[in-house]
Structure 1
Amino acid sequence: MLKFDKLSLNIPDTNKPRVVVIGGGFGGINLVKGLKNKGFQIVMFDKQNYHGFWPLLYQVATAGLEPDAIAEPLRKLFDEEYDDFHFRLVRVTGVDPAAKTVKTLIGELKYDHLVIATGSRSNFFGNDTIKNNSFPLKTIPDALNLRSQLLQSFEQASIIKDPVMRQSLLNFVIVGGGPTGVELAGSLAEMRKHVLPNDYPGLDFSKMNIYLVEGLDRVLPPMSPESAAKTQGYLDELGVVTKVKTLVDSYDGDTVTFKNGETIPTQTLIWAAGVAGATIEGLPAESVEKGRYLVDEYNRVKGVEGVYAVGDVALMKTEKWPNGHPGVAQPAIQQGEHLATNLTLLQRGGQLRPFDYFDKGSLAIIGRVRAVADLPKKLHLSGFIAWMAWLFVHIWYLIGFRSKLVVLSNWLYRLFTYDRGTRLIIRPFVRKADKEGQEFAIRNSGEVVTDQPTL
Structure 2
Amino acid sequence: MEGLTKLEHLGKPRVVIVGGGFGGLELAKALADAPVQVVLIDKQNYHTFQPLLYQVATAGLDEGDIVSPFRKILSEQANFYFRMAEVKSVDPAARLVETSIGCVRYDYLVLATGATTNYFGDEEMAKHAIAIKSVDDAIELRNTVLSNFEQALQLGDREQLNSLLDFVIVGGGPTGVEIAGALSELRKHVFPKDYRELDFREMDIHLVQSGPVLLKGMSENASHQALESLKKFGVQVWLDARVKSYDGYTATLNNGKQLIARTLIWAAGVTGDPVPGLDATCLLPGNRYAVDAYNRVQGYENIFAIGDIALMKTDAFPEGHPMVAQPALQQGRLLGQNLHRVLTNRLMQPFEYDDKGSMATIGRNHAVADIKLFGKEYHLQGFIAWLAWSVVHVVALVGFRNRLMVLLGWTWSYFSFDKGLRYIIGKTKSPLVEADVEGKAIV
Which TM class, normalised by the smaller chain length? over 0.9
Preserved CA contact (<8 Å) 2:154 2:435: no
Superposed CA deviations along residues 189-217 of structure 1, whole A, max 9, x for unmatched, are 00000000000001000000000000000
Partner of 1:409: 408
1:34 matches 2:33? no
* Partner secondary structure for residue 317 of structure 1: coil
Gaps of 5+ in 1: 442-455
Shift of 1:440: 7.0
Structure 2 residue aligned with 1:60, among 53, 56, 60? 56
Partner of 1:142: 137
- What is the correspondence of 1:340-351 to structure 2 with a 5 Å cutoff? 340-351=336-347
Partner of 2:292: 296
Superposed CA deviations along residues 39-63 of structure 1, whole A, max 9, x for unmatched, are 1011110000100110000000000
Partner of 2:389: 390
* Partner secondary structure for residue 432 of structure 1: coil
Structure 1 CA distance for aligned equivalents of residues 401 and 96 of structure 2:
37
- What is the correspondence of 1:63-102 to structure 2 with a 5 Å cutoff? 63-79=59-75, 81-102=76-97
Structure 1 CA distance for aligned equivalents of residues 230 and 261 of structure 2:
20
Partner of 2:39: 43
Structure 1 residue aligned with 2:189, among 181, 194, 199? 194
Partner of 2:427: 428
Distance 1:297 1:59, change over 3 A: same
Preserved CA contact (<8 Å) 1:195 1:420: yes
Out of 172-181 and 275-284, give the one that drifted further.
275-284
Superposed CA deviations along residues 130-171 of structure 1, whole A, max 9, x for unmatched, are 001100000000000000000000111122121110011111
**CA RMSD between the two structures:** 1.7
Structure 2 residue aligned with 1:120, among 96, 112, 115? 115
Distance 1:154 1:224, change over 3 A: same
Structure 2 CA distance for aligned equivalents of residues 439 and 128 of structure 1:
28
Shift of 1:434: 6.8
Preserved CA contact (<8 Å) 1:342 1:353: yes
Preserved CA contact (<8 Å) 2:47 2:70: yes
Partner of 2:269: 274
Partner of 2:198: 203
* Partner secondary structure for residue 370 of structure 2: strand
Superposed CA deviations along residues 76-127 of structure 1, whole A, max 9, x for unmatched, are 0111x21232100100011111211111122111100000111111000000
Q: TM-score, normalised by structure 2?
A: 0.95
Shift of 1:366: 0.3
Structure 2 CA distance for aligned equivalents of residues 228 and 10 of structure 1:
52
Partner of 1:452: none
- What is the correspondence of 1:141-290 to structure 2 with a 5 Å cutoff? 141-289=136-284, 290=286
* Partner secondary structure for residue 250 of structure 1: strand
Shift of 1:37: 3.1
Preserved CA contact (<8 Å) 1:97 1:305: no
* Partner secondary structure for residue 153 of structure 2: helix
Out of 183-192 and 378-387, give the one that drifted further.
378-387
Gaps of 5+ in 2: none
* Partner secondary structure for residue 175 of structure 2: helix
Preserved CA contact (<8 Å) 2:209 2:240: yes
Shift of 1:378: 3.0
* Partner secondary structure for residue 27 of structure 1: helix
Structure 2 CA distance for aligned equivalents of residues 424 and 431 of structure 1:
15
1:103 matches 2:98? yes
Preserved CA contact (<8 Å) 1:47 1:89: yes
Distance 1:286 1:415, change over 3 A: same
Partner of 1:352: 348
Shift of 1:8: 5.0
1:371 matches 2:367? yes
Structure 2 CA distance for aligned equivalents of residues 184 and 18 of structure 1:
41
Shift of 1:238: 0.2
Preserved CA contact (<8 Å) 2:170 2:266: yes
Distance 1:440 1:153, change over 3 A: farther
Superposed CA deviations along residues 271-311 of structure 1, whole A, max 9, x for unmatched, are 00000111111111111112111111100011122110111
Runs (4+) off by over 6 Å: 434-441
* Partner secondary structure for residue 21 of structure 1: strand
Preserved CA contact (<8 Å) 2:118 2:271: yes
Distance 1:138 1:256, change over 3 A: same
Q: TM-score, normalised by structure 1?
A: 0.93
Partner of 1:335: 331
Distance 1:213 1:11, change over 3 A: same
Distance 1:157 1:141, change over 3 A: same
Shift of 1:433: 5.5
Structure 2 CA distance for aligned equivalents of residues 203 and 10 of structure 1:
58
Preserved CA contact (<8 Å) 1:433 1:440: no
Preserved CA contact (<8 Å) 1:364 1:371: yes
Distance 1:430 1:357, change over 3 A: closer
The amino acid of 1:56's aligned partner reads L
